[in-house]
Amino acid sequence: MTGNTLFKLGDWGIYALFIVTVLGLPLVMDDVFWLNRISKYLVYGMLGIAIALSWGYAGILNLGQGLFFGLGAYMVAMSLKLQSYTSTQQGSDMPVPDFMLWNAEPGAPTELCCIVQGSWLWLPFQSQWFGMAMAIVLPVLIALVLSSAIFRLRVSGVYVAIITLALVLLVRLLIIDAQPITNGFNGLTDLGWLTVAGIEFDPYMVSTYYVVAVSTCVVLLLTRWLVSTRAGLILQSTRDDPNRSRYLGYDVAAYQVFFFTVSAGIAGFAGMLYVIAAEFASPSFLDITFSISMVVWAAVGGRSSLIGAAIGAILINTIEATASETEMFQEAWKLIIGVIFVLVVLYMPRGLAGLAQDLLGRISSARGSGDKQAARSGAPAE
Amino acid sequence: MVAALTIDALEVDFSGFKAVDGMTTVINEGELRVVLGPNGAGKTTLMDLISGKTASTGGEVRLFGRDITNRPEHQIARAGVGRKFQIPSVFRDLTVHDNLRVAVSHEPRVFRNLRLGMAPADRARIDEVIALTGLEPVLDVIAGDLSHGQMQWLELGMLITQQARVILLDEPTAGMTQAETLKTADIILKLKGNHTLLVVEHDMAFVRKIAERVTVMHLGRLLAEGPMAKIEQDPAVRDAYLGSGGAH
C-alpha cells in the first residue's frame, strides 16, 4: 500500500516539477532569444502529448499529425498576415497581403475580395479571433470526418499510418499549388503580432513565453485528466482488445474518433502557438519528416506517458539546437538522432518514462515490502 | 417460463457451405444449456451468429422477444448478450482491477464516461465478482501476466460485471487443469438462475457436472435435445459421433 502511494506521489511529483520548471524558467533565464526558442520547444512538447494520446493510449499511429499542426498554423497566420504592415500598407482600405499583389494579374482590383482567384477566402480572417478559432475548429472538423470514415470501416494499425501519411502529403501539395492565396513554398511570412486588449505579444517578450508555457501546462493537465476518466480507461481497453470492448457493449469507433479528434485539436492549437512564437507558417510543417520527428520525440520520451512524450520532445529539440550549432555535430546530428531512435525502440520500448517508472517502481516496492526483501532483490535503497 | 434466447431457423451460408443450417432452439430464462456436437457441427458458428460476429443469411435471433439478428456487436452486447471466447480475451495491458472496471458497461457513451471514479453500486458489484472468482490476490497484476486459468476466470468475471442477461461460453475449460476445471464449474453453477447460460464444451466430465438440458448439433442442425441422461442413450447422437470419428 505504501509502495503504491509512493508511486503515485512520484508520478504527480514529476508533473509538479515540470510545471514549476516551465513557469519559473523566465525568473532564472533572462536571455529572450533562448526563451523564444524554448517556447517553440514547448509547442513541440504539446505535439508530443498529442502523439502519446493517440499512439500510446489509443494505439493509433498517426504519421500525419503535421496536417493538423500545419492547418492550425495557417489559420492563425492568415489573420496575423492581414494585421502586418506588409498587408495594411498596400494602398487600399482593406488589408491585402503583399504576395497577392505580386501574383495578381495586371489591372486586377486591389481588394481582398477579388485580387486573385479565391482570395475572398481570406475575408473573414480580418478578425484575429476568427483565425484563432479556426486554428482549432478546422483540424477538429477534418479529424472528425477522417477518423469517422477510418474507424467505422475498422481500419487499423499500419493502414491508418499510411492513410494519414498520404493525406498530409496531399494537403501539402494543395497548399503549395494554391500559390496565389497561400504564397506556395514560401509560406506566410512577415506576420503581425498577436494583439489582445491592446497588448502586443512580441515573440521576444516574456509575456509571449508565458502564453505558450501556460497553454502547454493546461493542455498537459487536461489530457492527463482525460486519460484518467472512465472514457480514457475504456479507450485503453479498445487498444488492447477491440473485440472484447465491443462485446462489453462499447462502440469502439466512437472512442477512437473522440480521442483522435482531441489529439488533432491539440495539434491545431500547437500550430497556432507556434505561429505566435515563430512568426511564420510554411508548407514544411506538412513535410513527412516533421510528422515522423514527432513520433520519434514521443517514442524517446515514452509513448504511453503524456509527460514523458512532452519531455522527450523538449529534450531532443534542446539538445539538437545545441548540438547542431557545434561544428562537429552539425552534419552528424541527424544520424545521432536516428541511432537514438533505433536504440530506444529496440531496448527501451517505453522510452524515458518507462525508465523513470521502473526506477520509481523499484524504490516504492523496496519501501513497501520492507528492508529485508529489498535487500534480497537487490533494489536500490534510496 | 420466459424465453430468454430464441433461435429460429437460423442459417448462414459461407459461399455454398451452410455451417449453420436451419438451427432452432429456445433457451429459457435462468437456464444453463450445454451445446454438444462433433467437430464442425456449427457450435462456435452458432455463437458467432448470436453475438453478431458473423452475419446470418436466414432466420432470426430473439432476446427476450426482441429481434437482435445481425445487429452490430456492441448493440447486441448492450441488449444483454455477453460472450466468452475460446481463447481468453481480456485487456492484457490493463490490471485485473481495471479490466473489471471497464466491464461495468451499463453506460457505454463516450461523453457520459468523461468522469473520474465510479458509483458505489458499481464498486460493490465489482467486489462481489472479485469474491466469486477469487481474483482478490491478483487485482493489481497486469492481466497479460495471469495464468491461463486466472485469465479465464477474469473473462468470466467481466461477463458477470457486465450484467449480461444471456452469457455465451465457448469451451470455458479448454486448456485447464483438473482443479481449475472444478473451480470453473463452481463459478458457472453459481451463475445459474441469475443468468441464462449457453455453454459449448467438449469435456464430458465437466458437462455431466453442470448440464441439465443438452442440445446436440450435427451438420449445422438440431439433432437432439433433452436431459443429459436421455441424450447419452439416444441412438441418433451415437451415430453422429461415430460417423464423424468418435466423441471427444
* Better-predicted residue by pLDDT, A12 or B127: B127
Encoded amino acid at A257, one letter = V
- pLDDT tier at A173 (50, 70, 90 boundaries)? very high
Taking 50 as the threshold, does the pLDDT of residue A183 lie above it? Answer: yes
Which of A4, A238, A248 to probe the B interface (max B CBs under 10 A)?
A248
Which of helix, strand or coil describes residue A152? Answer: helix
pLDDT of residue B191: 87
DSSP characters for A108-151? ---STTTSSTTGGGGGGGGSHHHHHHHHHHHHHHHHHHHHHHHH
Compute the distance between CA of residue A203 and CA of residue A223 in angstroms, rounded to an integer: 26
CA A361 to chain CA centroid, nearest Å:
29
Let me know if residue B232 belongs to a domain. Answer: yes
The range of the structural domain enclosing residue B53 comes to 3-92+165-243
Let me know if residue B217 belongs to a domain. Answer: yes
Let me know if residue B115 belongs to a domain. Answer: no
> What residues of A are in contact with residue B94 (Cβ under 8 Å)?
233, 236-237, 240
Cell numbers placing A90? 498596400
pLDDT of residue A116: 85
Let me know if residue B78 belongs to a domain. Answer: yes
Which of A230, A245, A262, A305 to probe the B interface (max B CBs under 10 A)?
A230
Compute the distance between CA of residue A270 and CA of residue A285 in angstroms, rounded to an integer: 12
The range of the structural domain enclosing residue A92 comes to 2-369
Compute the distance between CA of residue B136 and CA of residue B196 in angstroms, rounded to an integer: 26
Let me know if residue A381 belongs to a domain. Answer: no
The CATH number of whichever domain residue B177 belongs to comes to 3.40.50.300
ipTM of predicted assembly, 2 dp? 0.90
Tell me the pLDDT tens digit for each residue of A131-163.
999 999 999 999 999 999 999 999 988 999 999
What percent of chain A stands above pLDDT 70? 94
Cβ neighbours for A307, distance < 8 A, ≥ 6 positions apart: A14, A15, A18, A220, A224, A353
pLDDT of residue B236: 86
Tell me the pLDDT tens digit for each residue of A82-124.
998 888 877 777 888 988 888 888 888 888 888 888 888 998 9
Tell me the pLDDT tens digit for each residue of B20-52.
999 999 999 999 999 998 888 899 999 999 999
Number of domains in chain B: 1
CB contact under 8 A, A237 and B113: no
Cell numbers placing B170? 465457448
Let me know if residue B224 belongs to a domain. Answer: yes
Beta strands across the sheet bearing B196-200: B81-84, B166-170, B196-200, B32-36, B213-218, B221-227
pLDDT of residue A380: 35
Let me know if residue A378 belongs to a domain. Answer: no
Compute the distance between CA of residue B169 and CA of residue B179 in angstroms, rounded to an integer: 19
CB contact under 8 A, B158 and A248: yes
Taking alpha carbons only, the member of A71, A26, A39, A83 closest to residue A203 is A39
Number of domains in chain A: 1
Which of B53, B84, B91 to probe the A interface (max A CBs under 10 A)?
B91
> What residues of B are in contact with residue A255 (Cβ under 8 Å)?
110
CB contact under 8 A, A255 and B109: no
- Sheet strands (E) in B88-239: 166-170, 196-200, 213-218, 221-227
Cell numbers placing A8? 503515485
C-alpha distance from A254 to closest chain B C-alpha (Å): 7
How wide is the angle at C-alpha B53 spanned by C-alphas B51 and B57, nearest 5°?
95
Instruction: Tell me which residue has cell 497577392.
Output: A100
